[in-house]
Chain A
Amino acid sequence: MTMKASSRQVSGVTVVDMSGRITLGEGSVVLRDTVRDLVAKGEKKILLNLGDVTYIDSSGIGELVSAFTSVRNQQGQLKLLKLTKKVHDLLQITKLYTVFDIYDDEAAALGTFK
Chain B
Amino acid sequence: MTKRVSYSLESTLESVNKAESTAVEAAAGAGFNEDDQGNIAMAVREAAVNAVLHGNAYDPNKKFFLAFETRDGSLVITIADQGKGLDPEHIPDPLAPENLMKGSGRGIFLIRAFMDEVKFRNTEPGTEITLIKHVGRKAANAKEESQ
Contact = CB atoms under 8 A, between A and B. Distances in A.
Interface residues of A, number: 20
A99 B42 contact: no
A71 to B, nearest CB: 13
B65 interface: no
B113 A58 contact: no
Nearest to A67: B103
Interface stretch (B66-74, B94-102, B118-126, B130-138): B94-102
Interface of A is mostly: helix
Interface stretch (B3-11, B25-33, B45-53, B83-91): B45-53
Contact of B104 (A25, A59, A86, A90): A59
B110 interface: yes
A61 interface: yes
Contacts of B16: 24
B11 to A, nearest CB: 13
Contact of A65 (B46, B95, B101): B101
A73 to B, nearest CB: 11
A58 B110 contact: yes
Given A59-B104, A62-B105, A94-B95, 11 more contacts: A24-B49, A57-B49, A57-B110, A58-B104, A58-B106, A61-B106, A66-B103, A69-B101, A90-B110, A99-B100, A99-B101
Interface of A: 23-25, 57-59, 61-63, 65-66, 68-69, 86, 90, 93-96, 99
